[in-house]
Amino acid sequence: MANVHIVHLETPLREEFRQELARRIYFLAEEIVEFTIDGSDGLLTGVRLSTRDTVSTDQLHRRLHTVIANDIRHQRVGPVKVYWRSSHEAPDGMPDFARLCDEGLVVPMGEGQMALAEPLLTLLDNADRQLVALVRRETGAVQYRYPTLMRTETLRQCGYMRSFPQHLMFVTRLHGDSDTYAAFSDRLAFGDDLLAMCGNTDYCLPPTMCYHTFQQLSGRRLGEPMAITARGKSFRHESRYHEGLSRLWDFTIREMVFLGSRDYARQTRERIMRSVCELVESWGLGGRCEVASDPFFVGAATAARISSQRLLELKFELRLPIGGGRDIACASFNFHDQHFGDAFAITGAEGESIHSACVGVGLERLTLAIVSQHGTDPRAWPETLRPSDI
pLDDT per residue as tens digits for the range 184-221 = 887 776 666 788 888 889 999 999 999 999 999 999 99
| Mean pLDDT along residues 247-262 | 98
Could you write out the DSSP letters of every residue in 321-340?
Answer: EEETTEEEEEEEEEEEETHH
| pLDDT one-digit tens code per residue, 146-175 | 999 999 999 999 999 888 899 999 999 999
| Residues 60 and 192 placed together within one structural domain of the fold | no
Residues 213 and 267 in one domain: yes
Letter string b/e over residues 122-152, b meaning 16 or more CB atoms within 10 A of that residue's CB: bbbebbbebbbebbeebbebeebebeeebbb
The per-residue pLDDT for 127 is 99
Q: Do 366 and 236 lie in a common domain?
A: yes
- Predicted confidence (pLDDT) at residue 1 exceeds the cutoff of 80: no
Angle at 333 between CA 332 and CA 338, to 5 degrees: 130
Examine residue 345 and state whether it is found in any structural domain, yes or no. yes
pLDDT of residue 296: 52
Residues 359 and 240 occupy one common structural domain:
yes
From 196, 230, 263, the end of a domain falls on 196
SS3 288: strand
**Secondary structure class of 122 (helix, strand, coil):** helix
Tell me whether residue 164 is in a domain. Answer: no
Distance CA 336, CA 341 (A): 9
**pLDDT at residue 267 in the model:** 98
Identify whether the C-beta of residue 231 lies closer than 8 Å to the C-beta of residue 131: no
Per-residue pLDDT, 372: 95
Q: At residue 315, what are phi and psi to the nearest 5 degrees?
A: -140, 130
Report the distance separating Cα 376 and Cα 94, nearest Å.
Answer: 10
Within a domain: 390: no
Q: What angle do CA 19, 45, 49 make, to 5 degrees?
A: 70
Whether 62 has a pLDDT exceeding 60, the answer reads yes
Domain boundary among 72, 94, 111: 72
Regarding whether 105 and 55 lie in a shared domain, the answer is no
The verdict on 62 and 140 lying in the same domain is no
Domain finish residue from 33, 52, 72: 72
Same domain, 233 and 361: yes
Say whether both 227 and 277 belong to one domain.
yes
pLDDT value at residue 68:
92
Q: Do 17 and 103 reside in the same domain of the chain?
A: no
β-pair partners for 229 = 143, 256
Residues 6+ apart with CB under 8 A from 131: 254, 276, 279, 361
Distance, CA of 137 to CA of 41 (rounded, Å): 52
The count of domains in the chain is 3
Question: Per the domain annotation, does 165 fall within a domain?
Answer: no
Q: Is 201 among the domain residues?
A: no
Predicted confidence (pLDDT) per residue in 348-381, tens digit: 999 999 999 999 999 999 999 999 999 999 999 9
Confidence (pLDDT) at 298: 53
Rounded CA-CA distance 366/359 in Å is 14
Tell me what the pLDDT averaged over the chain comes to. Answer: 92
pLDDT in tens, 273-326: 999 999 999 999 999 999 998 665 455 555 556 556 666 788 999 999 999 889
Q: For 19-53, give one letter per residue: b (16+ CB within 10 A) or e.
A: ebbeebbbbbbebbeebebebeeeebeebebebee
Same domain, 41 and 186: no
How many angstroms separate the CA atoms of 121 and 130, rounded?
Answer: 14
What is the C-alpha separation between 137 and 293, in angstroms, rounded?
29
Note whether 58 and 119 are same-domain residues.
no
pLDDT for the residue 80: 84
Q: Under DSSP, is residue 201 helix (H, G, I), strand (E, B) or coil?
A: coil
Cα 154 from chain centre: 18
Taking the CA of residue 184 as centre, how many other CA atoms within 13 Å lie in the half-sphere pointing to its CB?
A: 17
Residues 291, 370, single domain; the answer is yes
Range of the domain at 50: 3-72
Q: How many CB atoms lie within 10 A of CB 275?
A: 16
User: CB neighbours of 242 closer than 8 A, spacing ≥ 6?
Assistant: 111, 112, 248, 249
Provide the pLDDT for residue 278: 99
Q: How many Å apart are CA 220 and CA 31, to the nearest integer?
A: 46
Q: Rounded to whole angstroms, how far apart are CA atoms 205 and 150?
A: 6
Closest CA to 137 of 129, 148, 126: 129
Whichever domain contains 287, its CATH number is: 3.30.930.10
pLDDT at 313: 81
Give the C-alpha distances (Å, rounded to integers) separating 269 from 273, 315, 337.
Answer: 6, 10, 12
